[in-house]
Amino acid sequence: NHCSSFDFGEGATRRFLVIDPNVDCDDASHRTQVAISIIFLLAYGVGIPVSLRLIGWLVGRASDLQTEISTFAFLMKGYKPSQRYWETTNMLRKFSVIVVMTFVVDPLFPNSSA
C-alpha cells in the first residue's frame, strides 16, 4: 500500500492511500486490513507450495514413491521422479516475483506499486 503524507498545518500530518485519497492510512481499520492481507498473501503464496511438499513427503514416507507420484499426479506429471516437486519450486518463484512487483517501489515510477 502506497501512502502519501499531507501536511495540514501546525504539525498535523496525515497519510492517505495514493490510489484512493478517501482511505486514511493511519486508521485502525486500514492497518487491520493490511495485516490480514499480508497473512493471506503468505498463507496462499508460501503455505500452499510448502504444504503440498510436506503432504507429499508424508505420503511417500507412509507408502512408496509410486503412491506419492500417483497421489500428486496433477502436480508431478511430466517431471522425472527425482524432480517431482519442481512445480512447487515454480510456485514459490512466481510468488517471489509477485511480491517484488507489488511491494518494491521503482524510483522511476513511484506510484506503480501497491
52 in a structural domain:
yes
Could you tell me if residue 31 is inside a domain?
A: yes
For residue 113, pLDDT beyond 70: no
DSSP state letters, 13-57: EEEEESS-TTSBTTSHHHHHHHHHHHHHHHIIIIIHHHHHHHHHH
Residue 20 covered by a domain: yes
Mean pLDDT of 58-85: 90
Q: How many domains does the chain have?
A: 1
Residue 89 has pLDDT above 70, yes or no: yes
Residue type, 2: H
Please check whether residue 109 lies inside any domain of the structure. no
In a domain, 79, yes or no: yes
pLDDT tens sequence across 5-23: 888 878 788 888 888 888 8
Q: What is the mean pLDDT of the chain?
A: 87
Binned at pLDDT 50, 70 and 90, residue 30 comes out as confident
Query: Which of the four pLDDT bands, split at 50, 70 and 90, describes residue 26?
Result: confident
Instruction: Report yes or no on 114 lying in a domain.
Output: no
112, part of any domain: no
Quote the domain boundaries for residue 49. 3-103
- Single pTM value for the model: 0.70
Least confident of 6-10, 79-83, 89-93: 6-10
Distance CA 9, CA 76 (A): 61
Contact 41, 47 (CB under 8 A): no
> What's the pLDDT score for residue 44?
92
In this predicted model, what pLDDT tens digit does every residue of 50-65 receive, in sequence order?
999 999 999 989 999 8
